Amino acid sequence: MTKSQLKDLLQADPGIPRHGATEPYWLHVKHHLASVQSDALPEQTDIVVIGSGITGTSVTKSLLQDPAQISQRITVLEARTLCSGATGRNGGNLLTYGGIIYGKLKSIYGKDLALKIVEFTIDTIEETRKEVEEYAAEESELRSVTRVHSFRDSELFEAAKQSVSQYQSDLPQYGSSYTIITGEEAAKGYDIHGVVGAILFSGYSLWPYRFIMKVWEALFKEFSSRLTIEADTPALKIEYDPSVPCHPYIIETPRGQLRASKVIHCTNGYSSHLLPGLRGLIFPCLESMTVQDLHVRRRELRCWAILQKPTHDPQSGAKTTELLYMQQNSKSGHYFIGGGYSTAAEVISANDAALNARSTAYLQSTLHEFLNTEPGSGDLVSEWTGVQGMTSDHMPVVGRLSEKQTGRSGNGEWIAAGYNGGGMCMCWRMGEVMRKMIQEKEPPQWLPEVFLLSQQRMERSLTVENSVHSASYLLPDEIPGDN
């Protein structure tokens, strides 16, 4: 594949979430509201929220609970069953890399903004934890864990150690949260093999689907007069019609049309389907997840990661992911491990209806290597794929959308998306961000400015060219002169 072909992939329409998608283990027992919808689609509403994952849930909750907007009606559209997108397909870990990525953030944005980004993720995790404890602590199996962030490559390990050192110097109140261990210590003390070292820090693991569905259950009960939830109702097209000034947006669905005064896009990797001006700036990234039973009942309160330099198979053109992530279910003992071994065309795809046999086999063999268990032993319990939303500058996209991004007149569309695989430490606070920006016209002071969808950002960092550059690792070699 050439860079020009890679560019075409990045700028392709991701479409809407596919029916017949692979089924995540998290969703193998669906909540009773999973397919909830009205008998007939409402003819009009005040706000349409597209997407029912953690961002869409938080946005809806924040708006409904705002005492200044007690008359607002909100309609949530979900293409498939509730929470069946990225939130229902992820690795189930709630944590921030914080000090491990601080050095890179500081080199790009400077000390103050780097600290602001890290503090935002720390605060988001704490707020999310409180929400999980309020709604579904037992059901979601929320537990505090030690993250064993392991490195197979010495260069990556050294960079991470330097980053933590900078973090400890610049933010001493959090510096003691990180412990650096050698590969030998990782093998002896944590039974993790084949790594040159690891960094330990605190986090949480949980069953995200169960948490989100308990929130929807509570909202549906408390705000039944103002909230309609329309599962299995994809937004196919949006038009702007100023002839009805109170509800100028027409959202077309397979069940008919719906008019709204405002539209909030919480669609992550699928965002550019309805927002053509963002194609190539937000793009999908497909990875695989597996659940494996190795009949090993360690049951420690840990979750793991393996950071490595991607390796390339010249025969298939596939590359391994840089990051593999893993947790062990505290009750069943099953291991959940995700990542991939894919070609560029397989990675830059929104088709989560397709399994990747190469990736599944790789995740099986890697788990055995990592835990030093017998190859071929154990059982594959579940496998699925999921779509992440990536951006060209690796930062989320938040704010009011312009005609340049929507292709439509009007200024009543908003977005919170593009979490680059790290949504669990960013999404929940987006509810408050959207509420403040819609009603007060300004973002909260604690939101990192680099998240905002500004004209300056679209000229400098959020560009198709940067997307091609950031995704070029998928190519086997740099191809001189092929742009």
Which of the four pLDDT bands, split at 50, 70 and 90, describes residue 191?
confident
Query: 411-439, pLDDT tens digit by residue?
Result: 999 999 999 999 999 999 999 999 999 98
- Res 479 pLDDT > 50: no
In whole angstroms, what is the distance from residue 318 CA to residue 475 CA?
9
- Res 172 pLDDT > 90: no
What mean pLDDT is reported for the chain? 95
Which segments of 371-442 are extended strands (E)?
379-391, 397-400, 413-417
pLDDT of residue 299: 62
Which of the four pLDDT bands, split at 50, 70 and 90, describes residue 482?
very low
DSSP 3-state helix, strand, coil percentages of the chain (rounded to 5)?
A: 35, 25, 40
pLDDT of residue 69: 83
pLDDT of residue 483: 44
Query: 38-49, pLDDT tens digit by residue?
Result: 999 999 999 999
State which H helix or E strand residue 47 sits in. strand 44-50
Q: Where are the domains of the chain?
A: 10-89+209-281+393-469
Which tokens go with 196? Answer: 């040159």
The domain made up of 10-89+209-281+393-469 has a fold known as FAD/NAD(P)-binding domain (3.50.50)
For the residues 327-344, what does the mean pLDDT come to? 94
pLDDT of residue 301: 87
Which of the four pLDDT bands, split at 50, 70 and 90, describes residue 296?
confident
In whole angstroms, what is the distance from residue 448 CA to residue 460 CA?
17
Which segments of 105-236 are extended strands (E)?
143-151, 179-182, 197-205, 227-230
Please name the residue that has the structure tokens 């001189």.
480
Query: 351-398, pLDDT tens digit by residue?
Result: 999 999 999 999 999 999 999 999 989 999 999 999 999 999 999 999
In whole angstroms, what is the distance from residue 246 CA to residue 242 CA?
8
Phi, psi (deg, nearest 5) at residue 21? -65, 155
For the residues 50-79, what does the mean pLDDT come to? 96
pLDDT of residue 440: 78
- Res 28 pLDDT > 60: yes
pLDDT of residue 174: 73
| Exposure of 445 in the CB half-sphere (CA atoms within 13 A) | 0
For the residues 332-356, what does the mean pLDDT come to? 96
Mean pLDDT is lowest, of 160-174, 340-354, 400-414, for 160-174
- Res 481 pLDDT > 70: no
- Res 198 pLDDT > 50: yes
Please name the residue that has the structure tokens 């229902």.
88
Amino acid at 477: D
Q: Count Cβ atoms below 10 Å from residue 348 Cβ, excluding itself.
A: 24
Tell me which of 369 and 300 has the higher pLDDT: 369
Which tokens go with 340? Answer: 């991939």
In whole angstroms, what is the distance from residue 146 CA to residue 457 CA?
36
Which of the four pLDDT bands, split at 50, 70 and 90, describes residue 478?
very low
Residue 368 DSSP code:
H
- DSSP β-ladder status, 74-77 and 227-230: parallel
pLDDT of residue 477: 55
* Full DSSP string of 246-292: TS-EEEEETTEEEEEEEEEE--GGGGGGT-GGGBTTEEEEEEEEEEE
